[in-house]
Structures are given as C-alpha cells and as structure tokens.
Structure 1
Amino acid sequence: MRKLVVAACSSLILSAPVAQADVVGLGANVSYWDSDLSGQATDNGDVVDVENDLNLDSDSNANASLYFEHPVPVLPNVRLNYTLIEQTGRGQLGADFGGIFVGSGVDVRSDLDLEQLDLTLYYEVLDNWVNLDLGLTARSLDGELNVKEIGGTQASKTQVDAVLPMGYVAARFDLPLTGVSVGAEGNFVSYSGDSLHDFSAYGQFEIAVLQLRAGYRQMSIDYEDDDESLDVELDGPFVSAGVVF
C-alpha cells in the first residue's frame, strides 16, 4: 500500500494567520446525496466498467458530520464526517473479471459498498462575513465490490482498505443579516499515481439553531492496492439539515 503525504498543505497551514473562535461552537448535520457512479475496477489485470457492465445504481448515500470549535490558541478545531455509499445493479460481463469466466456472456449481480470516516483538524484563517478554514484530514476508506454470477457459483471480490492523509479547505461567504450564505469545501490528495478528491458547493440558510443546505458534491477515487484498483467518480446533488450552537 502506498503512503500518501500532504506536506505542502501542512506548510500552508503553519504559515497562515489563525483566527480563533470567540466562543465554543458545536454543530452537527445529516444529509442525503443522490449520486451517479461511473468508472472502472481492476482485479489482477481484469477490468470492468461499473456503470455500463454492472449497471450499478444508488440505493442510499448517507452522510453525517459533527464539529467542535473553541477559542484556545494553537489547538486546532475538530471535525468528524461519516459517509456510507451503497450501490447495487444487475448487468452482464463481456470479458473475464476476477475469477468469473465469461464465455459467451454472464449475467451478474453486483454490490458496491464504500465507507468513509474522516477526522479533520483545522484552523479558522478568516472568521467574519468571509470564512476560511484550512486543515488536514485522516480518512479511513473501506471499499468492497462484490460481483456474483446470477444462477451460478462464480464470484469476485475487489477490496480497497486504506487510511489516507488529505488536505482540507472550506470557504463560506455570508450575506449579512439574512442567514443566507454560499460556500464550498473539500478534501484532496494526489501522490505517485493515486489520487482522491471530495468537493462540494452549496447554498445555506440558517434560522435560530437550524441550518439547511442544498448543493452539489463530487468525489473521485483513483486508488491501487497490489493487483486491485478502483477508479470511480460519484457526483450529484445533496440536501442536509443540521443544528448549530
């Protein structure tokens, strides 16, 4: 497994001025992401198109996050984020894949599960009507693609299991006295042929402690582990609801 580094982002964070929160802040939200999937998986040199061959469709993409901000100098703020992606489909293989021998064609059922848990440590660089956060994320990525012959015994399993260090950036622009804002946030890393980025842009409305968001999210995974690899992209709209204190 390749070790990924984000030294450039670390230098940027250390050299940037830090604006600490005046009071303790706490927030949480849950969201639903209606994503489309494209790309391919590789197992020992065999390649399958997850969209055209497997016809994978979204079953449920759930996301939840929690953050804690404080006024203590030097110490970073903390954000936790969990994403679960589940896709299923019925398709037909046109070539051998991962121990499934096709012959004249094999009908298959496929399941793709991607589970992510992020721990982000970040600093507020700007904190007024323009907000800017910079930090580092440790992402635990656990993915599994199961392909099984319908009416038969042939099956294949492709797995991705890694902990990835990533850069984190979030920006938000508030329209004063309205509760309305627009923003974007993302995590990213690229090293030695592997890459992962996860970006979203949104509009937001806050009233009292309630926070509502709607936007668009795109996630791209290009990761290789020994003879198995996953090169996929998920993108689509999302909506979320949360509370802030």
Structure 2
Amino acid sequence: MKKVLYTLACGAVLTSSVMADFSRVEMGAGAWMQTPKGSASYTDGGADGLYTSSENDKTETYVWVLIKHPVPILPNLRLEYVTLEDSGLASGQFKDFNIDPAPYTTLSYDMKQYDIIPYYNILDNTSWITLDLGLDIKIVDASYTAAPSGSFTGYSDSVTFAVPLLYVRGRVEIPSTEIGIEADVKYITTGDSTVYDVRAKVDYTFDFTPAVQPALEVGYRVQKLDIDESSIDAKLDIDFSGFYAGVMLRF
C-alpha cells in the first residue's frame, strides 16, 4: 500500500511539473514611442491625390496576451492590440473627395490593429531556447479625416480589412539569470507589396513567487506597410518605428 501511495504521489508531482512547463498564461501592456513616416497616393482615372506624413512623434498603448496549453494537436494562441495614428498634408483628388482648389489640407488617420496569432511550439525552452511558428491574422480598423480647407468642406470615412502574415518568434533565456532576449517577425510579400511587423526586446523577470511572476520589457519595433498593387487604386508606403517599454505578468 505504501508503494502504491508513493507511486501515486510521484505521478502527481510529475504531472504537476509537466503541466507547469506546458501550460502558461502571459500578458503585458506598455507604451510604444514611434515616429510615422511615409506617403500615400491615389491615381485611378487620372486622379492626383497625394498624402505626406508630418512625421510627428507619437506614443501609443499596446496590450498582448499569450495562452499556452498542453494539447499538442491544437495551436497555442497569442492576441495583440495597438492603435497607430498619423497626420500630414494632403492635396489633389482622391476616390471620394477632391481637395482642389485649396492647395493643401490636413489629413489624419488612425489604425486600430487586432492580431490573432495561432502558433505551435517547435522548441519550448529547450536548452534555454524557444521557437514558435504560426499565422498572424492582423485585423485593421482604419478611419481617416480630411479637414475643411477653403471651399473644401472636409471628408471622413473608415474601412476594416484583414492581412494574413507568417509568424516566427524566437527566445533565449540567459542561464543563471532572469533575463530573456526575444524577437518576433510577422511578414508577407506578394507582387510589389510587402507588409511586416518586427520586434526585438530584452525582459527581466522578478522571481518572487512561482504562481505569479512580474516582469519588465524594453524593445524596438518596426512596422512597414508598402502596398503597390494594380488591383488597388491607392499606393501606400508608411512605416512606424521606435522604442517600447512595458510590464508583464506570467502565470
């Protein structure tokens, strides 16, 4: 009977250890200090619409959640949210409005981005290395406003679309420390268009208790939207880049 109880106790400890390794929830939030740069144009049917970013520094809030479970056949899940804003000068004729005869007007826009990322662990802290592969569905909820100028009465509109991107994440835990180095890439290219979202960071975990572990993260992020397709009336070449910092919790 003692042997049976001992075996069951060992099994329970082992199962608990395995679940601790293969079940995890992480979440984080912080501020991304970035500078939008670039331009957009609309030339369909002889139109001559042009937008140029004013390249003003912005600070935007980001939030993310990672959910890892022990069922190998099902993908794990990462969710992200960030809002990007920009403003600049616009001129000429666009699809639904014409700024002329005023020479320029102010155009501002924001893009709320929701990233839904199912992924698989290829390596899970194997020799301190983690490697994830998956698919990112980036849902963009964009709205823009062209301010009144001269005889131009102004215009506003919104659009929602989804962009699929390949997702790769790599992480290295520095042995005998609470420091992690991590990078992830979301990328797609088709024809003359390329979209990518790249991050690299360092984080430090405060190992106060195994149940809840707070951490700090500092990194650099670059997002590029280069859209140039014959089937699309507008061309877009915008990037957002800058440092970010935030707090994390691991469960």
TM-score by structure 2 length?
0.78
Between structures 1 and 2, the one with greater helix share: 2
Change (3 A) 1:195 1:137: same
Aligned to 2:205: 206
2:98 is the alignment partner of 1:96: no
Question: Runs of 4 or more off by more than 4 Å in structure 1?
Answer: 156-160
Q: Distance in 1 between matches of 2:233 and 2:194?
A: 17
- 1:101-112 counterparts in 2 under 5 A? 101-102=100-101, 105-106=103-104, 108-112=105-109
Consecutive unaligned residues in structure 2, runs of 5 or more: 1-18, 208-212
2:175 is the alignment partner of 1:169: no
Q: How many percent of aligned residue pairs carry the same amino acid?
A: 26
Q: Which has the higher contact order (CA 8 A, sep 6+)?
A: 1
Q: What root-mean-square deviation, in Å, do the aligned CA atoms of Structure 1 and Structure 2 show? A: 2.4
Aligned to 2:82, the other structure's residue is in SS state strand
Consecutive unaligned residues in structure 1, runs of 5 or more: 1-19
**Conserved 8 A contact 1:214-1:240:** yes
Aligned to 1:153, the other structure's residue is in SS state coil
Change (3 A) 1:155 1:21: farther
**Conserved 8 A contact 2:26-2:249:** yes
Aligned to 1:9: none
Paired letter, 1:112: Y
Q: Once the 2 structures are TM-superposed, how far is the Cα of residue 155 of structure 1 from its aligned partner?
A: 3.0
Q: Distance in 2 between matches of 1:226 and 1:158?
A: 17
Say which one has the larger Rg: 2
Query: How many residues are paired up?
Result: 218
Greater shift after overlay, 68-77 or 55-64? 55-64
Q: Distance in 1 between matches of 2:20 and 2:100?
A: 59
Select the residue among 108, 114, 121 that pairs with 1:124: 121
**Conserved 8 A contact 1:84-1:115:** yes
Greater shift after overlay, 175-184 or 197-206? 175-184
**Conserved 8 A contact 1:119-1:139:** yes
TM-score by structure 1 length?
0.79
Between structures 1 and 2, the one with greater strand share: 1
Q: Distance in 1 between matches of 2:234 and 2:107?
A: 17
